[in-house]
């Protein structure tokens, strides 16, 4: 097993083909996200440091929990979680067009916002990892709720891209065991 830390900057990470742990850090406007090219669900792990990102579920627990829904609101209704996999796809301004420089970060972020939909009644303390795909790859976003219980659309100030799982075509196929928070 290899442990790979992308550290600062935008990195492209390819594991060894065995079980790997890929450590993702914090991001600012997508300027510190890593692209993982060979992630295999149930074999590899994404490790996001609790001390840096402060994951906190919708109901206040730091235990790693996962829920899936068509929006953040639907995933929140499905269960208390600090990992939310969104079953609605990004349609335009995909991860590939962003990587190729055809789409800007703001355009990708806007497309992710549409896919994430409404926030539900999440409190202002919720910090979740939100996985949303475009049918070819899955983006990992840090969502910091700014709603204090208001059910409204996700806004750009609430999300940051921290990673892209290239070739993972369905965010909903990810499992809780794919993530390590510490």
Give residue-wise pLDDT tens across range 151-174.
788 999 999 999 999 999 999 999
- CA-to-CA distance for 157 and 119, rounded, in angstroms? 13
pLDDT value at residue 82: 83
More confident residue, 123 or 102: 102
Give residue-wise pLDDT tens across range 6-18.
666 676 877 777 7
Taking alpha carbons only, the member of 24, 25, 23, 41 closest to residue 169 is 41
* Model confidence at 93: pLDDT above 90: yes
pLDDT range class, residue 23, cuts 50, 70, 90: confident
Phi, psi of 72 (to 5 degrees): -60, -40
Taking alpha carbons only, the member of 158, 162, 170, 66 closest to residue 119 is 158
Using DSSP's 3-state secondary structure scheme, residue 72 falls into helix
Give how many domains the chain has, as a whole number: 1
Range of the domain at 20: 2-181
Pair of tokens at residue 49: 């440091």
In the predicted model, what is the mean pLDDT of residues 121-142? 88
């Amino acid at each position: 097993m290899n442990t790979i830390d992308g550290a600062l900057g935008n990195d492209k990470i390819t594991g060894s083909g065995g079980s790997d742990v890929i450590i993702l850090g914090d991001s600012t406007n997508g300027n510190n996200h890593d692209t993982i090219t060979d992630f295999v669900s149930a074999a590899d792990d994404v490790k996001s440091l609790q001390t840096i990102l402060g994951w906190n579920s919708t109901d206040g627990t730091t235990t790693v929990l996962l829920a899936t829904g068509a929006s953040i609101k639907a995933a929140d209704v499905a269960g208390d979680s600090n990992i939310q996999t969104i079953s609605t796809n990004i349609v335009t301004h995909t991860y590939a067009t962003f990587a190729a420089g055809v789409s800007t970060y703001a355009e990708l972020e806007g497309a992710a916002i549409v896919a994430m939909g409404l926030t539900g009644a999440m409190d202002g303390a919720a910090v979740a990892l939100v996985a949303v795909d475009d049918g070819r790859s899955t983006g990992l976003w840090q969502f910091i709720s700014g709603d204090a219980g208001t059910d409204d659309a996700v806004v750009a100030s609430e999300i940051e891209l921290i990673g892209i799982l290239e070739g993972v075509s369905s965010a909903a196929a990810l499992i809780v065991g794919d993530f390590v928070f510490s």
